[in-house]
Structure 1
Amino acid sequence: MPHSPNYLNDRQLQVLTWAVAGSADGSFALGDYAHRITARALESRGLLKVTGRGTTWSAVATESGVARLAAEQSVDRVQEQALTAGAQLIADVISAGGSLDVTGTGDLRTDWDALVRNANQSKARPPGQHLTRAARAGSGRTVLRFKPNYWELTDKPDVPVPSRLRTMHAAVQKYADDADWQYVSRAHASRAARVLEALARASEQLGMEVHAGKPWWNPPRTWQQSRQDASHLVVLREPHSFRITVRELKGEGSERRDHTRPSSSRLPRWQEMQHYTFVSTGRLEVETSGPGLSSFMVRDTRSQTLESQLGRVLQAIEVGSLEARDLADLVAERERLAREQWESAMTQAQAEWELEQRVELLNRRAEEWERRDRVARYVAALEVIPDLQAEDVRWLVWARDWLASTPTPLPARTFELPAPRREELQRYLHGWSAYGRKAAPPRTGFPEQSGE
């Protein structure tokens, strides 16, 4: 794409920066006069004033040049350059077929996460896709690839909020009957119930199941488990479940609660358990959590009410379900590859063990052969000695009989080795476990674990 006539390339910016900084000597290599040519080009655009020649040559930035450099170094310009780099990155990944290994292509200062963020803001990004950076811990590899942007590929459903509740969903009724669990002040409990009712009805219309949630103090779970599982509604979108919680935002001016002094009136349990008094604001928020989602929240703002954003809650559930499905597929693929690698390592280890066993047997048989051959040559030497004494003759006869009864030491049964024990294979596996892909060798005295 051609640049505008006002565009400054990196070389021009370097020379302009040098001139604005005072044209320090030694900034360019001795005998290199390319910067003087660049300076003439900048002078023609009114950014520099060039005088002299040879040793008297000099370049001074004009007021326009100083202003232009300041504009180039402004935040907007830096962001524009980042977006341009992001567009180029998008083009590179597309040219590579949607996945690009950039390992070793940057320097230590390269912020790939920032480049990916800028790329995703570029208009060059394919609709319905966004760029991600994949880097497995310890692998040393950085791979950029596209994945579906489900926020663009899914619709935001309409979630009408009833003005009055004549009948309630069973899950919402449980919420309305328990003030200890409502997380909103009494004046706004009705609104919170209508919000939950709207979400429950819309979820079921989309084919999802809705159940009542659980308070965070619900026994017998630990406090941490209860906090993770606490919610007002549980929406089941097969095979995943998502938790929805509505609460009121706390205002300023709260005071530390003295739990040793009895309250003049009974407070709901969700307020009583807090260390500070609750200051009502009337501003509500809905939090959605579950597989494929970090905590997703919508709330009342100056420009939007909570009710106008409830469609995003159900869209978040759809997005989370799709993200969880992709993650499950990715984990399954990694599990499959890891299993194949383990099985391949086990096959290779067994082959190495068998080779070593055969070589060891061959060496033993060769040593036996050499011993028998040495004895045979010794006996042959005795036979040619004349006038052997009676004792020597008896020895020679015995030696002949031994040679006759000793078979030739061939490496019999070399290809019928017994199955190796797991501990015998372990030293050939180079970090894998012979006891299973995720297993560790059993402790002494315990039965051997079966492989996965």
Structure 2
Amino acid sequence: MLQEQDRRDHTPTEKELAEAKKYSWVRIPQFDYTSSGRLRIILSGGQPHRASEWADTADRTLEDQLAEIVQEVDLRGEAAERKRLADLEAAQQKRLRWEAAMQQARIAYAESYRVKHLEAQAEAWRHATSLSEYLSAIRLQTEELPAGQTKDHAETWTRWADAHLQRLNPVNTPPRLPKIPEPRPEDLKPFLHGWSPYGPSY
């Protein structure tokens, strides 16, 4: 709420003229303002329905407009409450969609981890198979060696290599599903299709 002012042309005083002549930075005002005794109400914020400003006029006083002002405040308040509730509902729905996306991302992450584990086992099996062929060739060569220190060293080496191969080859242990580690937020990003792993608002 503010009081309106009347404006009229300013008549410079002798002092103002003298100071303006003496100092280049002095500016003489163009208008004079005086209190009018008329009030103005400005309503800001919210969604306007009818108006945002009311003032005393020659044909209508501010008091005569109070019912309209109060109604405008009520309408804006009701609209703001509807928007607040709609925003809460939208945020709740967004959170539910994010939680569903996170659940699907965890499932996809686990599946991806199992696939990588399977591929790593297959690669370990190929490596073990290659080493097994190599050891077979070494055994044949060792059998042809004459008895002595060289043959003893070769047999010691092949025994160690056999034991190592038994540990290395994944088919020597019963297969089972790998234990899925708890994913970090960055691990889930590739499976979230644009959602952030840190929350629905990020």
* TM-score past 0.5 threshold: yes
Task: Say yes or no: does 1:325 pair with 2:81.
Answer: yes
Question: 1:398–1:423: structure 2 CA closer, same or farther, 3 Å change rule?
Answer: closer
Task: Please report the TM-score for the alignment, with normalisation by the length of structure 1.
Answer: 0.33
Q: What is the alpha-carbon distance in structure 1 between the residues aligned to residue 94 and residue 107 of structure 2?
A: 20
Deviation at 1:327?
Answer: 1.0
Unaligned runs of 5+ in 1: 1-244, 262-274, 440-452
Q: What is the alpha-carbon distance in structure 2 between the residues aligned to residue 348 and residue 257 of structure 1?
A: 78
Aligned partners of 1:361 and 1:411 also within 8 Å: no
Aligned partners of 2:124 and 2:168 also within 8 Å: no
Deviation at 1:370?
Answer: 1.2
- The amino acid of 1:376's aligned partner reads S
Question: 1:255–1:400: structure 2 CA closer, same or farther, 3 Å change rule?
Answer: same
The SS at the match of 1:278 is strand
Q: What is the alpha-carbon distance in structure 2 between the residues aligned to residue 413 and residue 326 of structure 1?
A: 51
Please list the CA deviations of residues 24-57 of structure 1 after superposition, one character each: whole Å capped at 9, or x if unmatched.
xxxxxxxxxxxxxxxxxxxxxxxxxxxxxxxxxx
Please list the CA deviations of residues 57-86 of structure 1 after superposition, one character each: whole Å capped at 9, or x if unmatched.
xxxxxxxxxxxxxxxxxxxxxxxxxxxxxx
| Superposition map of 1:167-182 within 5 A | none
- The amino acid of 1:339's aligned partner reads R
Aligned-residue Cα RMSD (Å) equals: 3.9
Please list the CA deviations of residues 116-135 of structure 1 after superposition, one character each: whole Å capped at 9, or x if unmatched.
xxxxxxxxxxxxxxxxxxxx
The SS at the match of 1:424 is helix
Deviation at 1:364?
Answer: 1.2
Aligned partners of 1:249 and 1:285 also within 8 Å: yes
Question: 1:256–1:361: structure 2 CA closer, same or farther, 3 Å change rule?
Answer: farther
Tell me what 1:425 maps to.
188
Q: What is the alpha-carbon distance in structure 2 between the residues aligned to residue 424 and residue 396 of structure 1?
A: 42
Q: What is the alpha-carbon distance in structure 2 between the residues aligned to residue 364 and residue 256 of structure 1?
A: 94
Q: What is the alpha-carbon distance in structure 2 between the residues aligned to residue 314 and residue 419 of structure 1?
A: 57
The SS at the match of 2:7 is coil
Tell me what 1:434 maps to.
197
Question: 1:384–1:316: structure 2 CA closer, same or farther, 3 Å change rule?
Answer: same
More helix by share: 2
Q: Among residues 116, 126, 133, which one is paired with 1:360 in the alignment?
A: 116
Q: What is the alpha-carbon distance in structure 2 between the residues aligned to residue 285 and residue 401 of structure 1?
A: 96
Q: What is the alpha-carbon distance in structure 1 between the residues aligned to residue 121 and residue 64 of structure 2?
A: 87
- The amino acid of 1:342's aligned partner reads W
- The amino acid of 2:170's aligned partner reads T
Deviation at 1:316?
Answer: 1.0
Q: What is the alpha-carbon distance in structure 1 between the residues aligned to residue 65 and residue 130 of structure 2?
A: 96
Deviation at 1:284?
Answer: 3.1
Question: 1:257–1:429: structure 2 CA closer, same or farther, 3 Å change rule?
Answer: farther
Task: Specify which structure has the bigger relative contact order, considering alpha-carbon pairs within 8 angstroms and separated by 6 or more residues.
Answer: 2
Unaligned runs of 5+ in 2: 17-29
Q: What is the alpha-carbon distance in structure 1 between the residues aligned to residue 194 and residue 11 of structure 2?
A: 56
Identity %: 28
For the pair shown, which has the larger CA radius of gyration, 1 or 2?
2
Tell me what 2:6 maps to.
251
Task: Please report the TM-score for the alignment, with normalisation by the length of structure 2.
Answer: 0.65
Tell me what 1:306 maps to.
62
Please list the CA deviations of residues 263-292 of structure 1 after superposition, one character each: whole Å capped at 9, or x if unmatched.
xxxxxxxxxxxx964334454332334544
Task: Say yes or no: does 1:374 pair with 2:130.
Answer: yes
The SS at the match of 1:251 is strand
Question: 1:387–1:422: structure 2 CA closer, same or farther, 3 Å change rule?
Answer: closer
Residue-pair matches, total: 179
Aligned partners of 1:352 and 1:428 also within 8 Å: yes
| Superposition map of 1:250-399 within 5 A | 250-253=5-8, 255=10, 277-293=32-48, 296-379=52-135, 388-390=144-146, 391=151, 394=155, 397-399=159-161
